[in-house]
Amino acid sequence: MVIISQGNLKLALLGLFAQGHLLLEDLLGVGKTLLAKTIASSLDGTFARLQCTPVLLPSDITGTSAFDLKDQSFEFVAGPIFNNSVLADELNRAGPWASSTLIYTRSTCCRETPTPSRRKPAPAPPPAA
């Protein structure tokens, strides 16, 4: 059971149906994270929470390349932006480079990283019921 204000629920559903983005500002502990998780899980989508801090880097959002010792090659490890639903908590604390990275990657149809070879397609929306 999710107990949340009617206004936030309406805004979340409008954002979902419009395939858009949503900015919820409310008091602590009123269920914003639970609402985002519940909507993502009810649609068989993926969810990620991104804690914004002053030291958050763009690679924390988009992902980074990690060296695989076994294969002797770099492997791209996707960041939280590659999920269907992303909750950016305390966005006001992030630096301008992290905020702009978050806005840019969410606005493109393909989640892009600064290097084109590390471009991944956006996750497909969950199938309609």
Q: What confidence score (pLDDT) does residue 122 get?
A: 56
Distance between CA 52 and CA 50 in Å, rounded? 6
Is 129 a member of any domain? no
CATH at 64: 3.40.50.300
pLDDT of residue 112 exceeding 60: no
Q: What confidence score (pLDDT) does residue 72 get?
A: 92
Is 1 a member of any domain? no
62 exposed, middle or buried (CB, 10 Å; 0-12, 13-18, 19+)?
buried
Written as one letter, the residue type at 33 is T
Is 89 a member of any domain? yes
Mean pLDDT, residues 77-93: 85
Is 79 a member of any domain? yes
pLDDT 10s digits, 90-111: 888 888 888 888 877 776 655 5
Confidence of residue 123 (pLDDT cuts 50, 70, 90): low
Other beta carbons within 10 Å of 97: 12
Q: What confidence score (pLDDT) does residue 81 get?
A: 85
Is 113 a member of any domain? yes
Confidence of residue 67 (pLDDT cuts 50, 70, 90): very high
Is 18 a member of any domain? yes
Q: For residue 99, what are the domain limits?
A: 6-121
Among the ranges given (18-32, 47-61, 82-96, 112-126), the one the predictor scored with the smallest mean pLDDT: 112-126
Mean pLDDT, residues 8-34: 81
Domain count, the chain: 1
pTM for the structure as a whole: 0.69
Q: Are 32 and 7 in contact (CB under 8 A)?
A: no
Is 126 a member of any domain? no
Mean pLDDT, the chain, integer? 79
